[in-house]
Structure 1
């Protein structure tokens, strides 16, 4: 829990130890006694390195120096959570901007996925500087931890029913209403694509519909792909491609975490959260290549590949969201491998029809050190999704621009919303970082939240 590594608000620094920040190659601002120990230890201040400084008492600690390296990653501070001795610590820096991100890095770096294993109980804990917005930092860290926990949980404990339970837990105590359309009711209430993708699983497919906020506020709808496990369906993935497919609900995980941020900050929006939760399984009732379904929007879709299922469940959910003509629809999904080929695992591409939002998001991305990159909705590529027997095919045949064509597919289901943005995220760290272990990750939600806060402000209630 976050409370294990974050001291209560009014904790005194009396017995706490300082953390000094040191950039490699820069003129040191450390006090003489600390600098002497740095020199004697030949400490080079490499990124994420930590030097514990003794005091005059045998075995005593005066503080610790965090090496920042010569780069610009403020989250090397995440290394402190595993490298500092147990006890209370605080950042000793004249720059509030530096310690804000350093503090957040510490809290993100302290994350552990402890559902299935035990960790040592003694840990370093942080006393936040009084100049910081504590509630904001706590909310950001808790959102990141939530997204990671959900993505890391395997499908045997987090199927479509588990995703629903997680959504209800987020809704609890936040005055969110929750409605669920499940199983055969999906067909009766016109969600044919969600039903088709999830019908082969023993855990019934469902659409989770959550609402919060004052009725007169601008409508913001968040849509998250909730594929609890993706076998690929009848177009089955190879074993190597299936290994981490518990993370295919990473869009839903990140949307739930983002929704928490929006609600806890009381942004002035009428929030709606839509999560199509399904498992893309294989059985006698699995949907097939060549099948054709009429979507909620009325567009017919030919199934070119059952492993391109995420865009199908999103299409019905986005169409529902669009019927209200909201101010903004924002969807997140672990949608294409092409996005990873283009930008790697750390930088999610996004697509939008709203230039002002794109500019705001890009600026927030730099401030929050939460990378995103805009890719084009290049309309000529839409021809690759043409079908000889339906309005659309769910895949192209040429293999080009897969992330772009997936976004173009989704765009066909947005006609009433004032603004729309789509994020093709990885939701996974394949390599450990100081602030993030290997495993599930919250991608882009800190930058998105900052942009949404700028767009909407806080509620007047």
Structure 2
């Protein structure tokens, strides 16, 4: 990633990129070399969003780039297209984009390639000189977090099981001087995490609970909880093959939480951060939990299993109960939880839930500001009765086919009672196709918005 951000010594001969719109193009064109201007005219370039033109000098070398910008909030990542289309070289922004900071971030994020298993993937050789007024280190730490999450999600489950996910989390904790512990296998039962154990016990790879703490113990307590289902077969309620195909991404909540944790710790925000990740594989085996089993929870609620494919909320429930015990100021969880969320809002727009209206407004504002889109859905109390069980405290699924994402949020809310504020994200963690700054494959969702929220609430930290 750092290869994409040019060193200051490389800026002298950097190739200019001019951001242009219909309103600004004429003025930019006036400042071009006459030969460049004629080339743009004969090429039929039009300053439409996302359109680009590489300009040659008289010797045939690249002398500049015209790039169509947009004032639309949904288009502020357009510059993420540039690393995939430009020839090798060091570039600079010659003028200001509609949002120069996001354009620089998108440029870096658009350079991402997952090359672990393909030896012929070469670096594009495209670099960007950080624009004036844009914090180079801040762009780097955000991109590092996003790339970490993408790498984790893109890695297939044979190389990213519960043990491997725990190893990555422990390395991240060590990198930032955080404390960490991992509770594994039957120790989960001994330490009262029965739901995590039940979901993961059928796999040959033991379930785990990863617990990281960092920061000043006297600072405001912020806890992040991420769903770490490293592969989801659906359990005995087996998924069809089409639905199982990309279930390596079912630990996307854990990946996004670790991305946010890196940003927070690297920035040195004034928080006491805790990260909890239940890491399991929902497998099929003789020891698998069954439909209509009743499993106790850390909270003391007995849960009837209406569907073994609704396992993510089960492992999150135990982790949320643990987090809630120390009454954090802000408790946030993320998970790739429901197909209903995708039906309602698609893959690019994760729903979020909270009973705190001020928090919801702040999340929405930062999500828009960071081009990290999310959308609030309600914790609709009348639907709570859909979780009723005739023989247990609650069921893990609804008694009907409706409002699946809301029902999941209401289920999780049963395990949070002491936290001052609780925020739940039902993310997808995957880009079905490539868009500017967002290559096809694993994606980090909601982490950048959460990070911006925490920067505003708990101090700016060390931005350098």
User: Cα deviation per residue 1:20-50 (whole Å; 9 max; x = unaligned)?
Assistant: 1112465433124344332221012333332
Which residue does the alignment assign to 1:99? 100
User: Is 1:5 the equivalent of 2:4?
Assistant: yes
Comparing 231-240 with 171-180, greater Cα deviation is found at 171-180
Following superposition, the deviation at residue 261 of structure 1 comes to 0.8
Out of 324, 337, 340, the residue aligned to residue 338 of structure 1 is: 340
Asked if structure 1 preserves the Cα contact closer than 8 Å seen for 2:2 and 2:140, the reply is no
RMSD between superposed Cα atoms in Å? 1.5
Q: Secondary structure at the match of 2:164?
A: helix
2:18 corresponding residue in structure 1:
20
In structure 2, the partner of 1:151 is: 153
Give me the whole-angstrom Cα distance separating, in 2, the residues matched to 1:312 and 1:36: 64
- Contact 2:88–2:126 (CA<8 Å) still a contact in 1? yes
Contact kept in structure 1, 2:455 and 2:461, CA below 8 Å: no
1:189: how far off? Answer: 0.5
Flag the 1:247–1:288 CA change in 2: closer, same or farther, 3 A: same
Partner residue in 2 for 1:443: 445
Structure 1 distance, partners of 2:443, 2:26, is 35
Q: Please give the alpha-carbon distance, in whole angstroms, between the structure 2 residues aligned to 1:227 and 1:181.
A: 16
Say whether 1:61 aligns with 2:30: no
Cα displacement (A) at 1:64 = 0.8
Q: Which residue of 2 aligns with 1:110?
A: 111
Residue pair 2:350, 2:428 contacting (<8 A) in 1 also: yes
Q: Deviations over 1:165-197 (max 9, x none)?
A: 110121122011111110000001100000000
Shift of 1:294: 1.1
Q: Deviations over 1:255-276 (max 9, x none)?
A: 0000011111111110000000
The aligned residue for residue 220 of structure 2 is 218
**Structure 1 residue 442, shift from structure 2 partner:** 0.8
The separation in 1 between residues aligned to 2:269 and 2:194, in whole angstroms, is 33
Within 2, Cα distance between the matches of 1:262 and 1:274? 15
Secondary structure of the 2:175 match is: coil
Q: What residue in structure 1 maps to residue 413 of structure 2?
A: 411
Cα-to-partner distance string for 1:64-97 (whole Å, 9 max, x where unaligned): 11122674412111111011111111111145x6
Tell me, in whole angstroms, the C-alpha distance in 2 between the residues paired with 1:26 and 1:126.
Answer: 23
1:368 aligns with 2:370: yes
Q: Per the alignment, in what secondary structure is the counterpart of residue 287 of structure 2?
A: coil
CA contact (8 A) 2:224 2:274 kept: yes
Provide the secondary structure at the position in 1 that maps to 2:99: helix
CA distance in 2, matches of 1:338, 1:203: 29
| 1:237 alignment partner, SS class | coil
8 Å contact kept, 2:70–2:76:
no
Query: Which residues of structure 1 form unaligned runs of 5+?
Result: none
1:289 matched residue in structure 2: 291
In 2 relative to 1, CA 122–394 (structure 1 residues): closer, same or farther, beyond 3 Å?
closer
Residue of structure 2 equivalent to 1:172: 174
1:391 is matched with which residue?
A: 393
Q: Provide the C-alpha distance between the structure 2 equivalents of 1:354 and 1:121, rounded to a whole number of angstroms.
A: 45
The CA deviation string for residues 178-221 of structure 1, in whole angstroms up to 9 with x for no partner, is 11110000001100000000000000001000000001001111
Residue 365 to residue 187, structure 1, CA distance change in 2 (3 Å) = same
Aligned to 1:123: 125
Residue 77 of structure 1 aligns to a residue in which SS?
helix
Q: How does 1:240-255 map to 2 (within 5 A)?
A: 240-255=242-257
Of residues 162, 187, 190, the one that matches 2:189 is 187
1:153, 1:276 → 2: CA distance? 18
Contact 1:17 1:89 in 2 (8 A): yes
What SS is found at the alignment partner of 1:11? helix
- Is the deviation greater in 389-398 or in 68-77? 68-77
Counting only pairs closer than 5 Å after superposition, residues 266-285 of structure 1 correspond to structure 2 as 266-285=268-287
Match of 1:308 in 2: 310
- Taking the aligned partners of 1:218 and 1:121, their CA distance within structure 2 comes to 42
Q: How far does the alpha carbon of each residue in 1:88-141 deviate from its partner, in whole angstroms, 9 at most, with x for none?
A: 11111145x632111111101000001111312342111112321111111111
Q: Give the whole-Å Cα distance in 2 for the aligned partners of 1:181 and 1:206.
A: 5
Deviations 1:214-241 (A, max 9, x none): 0100111100000000000000000000
Distance 2:10 2:238 in 1: 57
Paired residues, number? 456
* SS of the residue 2:26 aligns to: coil
1:13, distance to aligned residue in structure 2 (A): 2.1
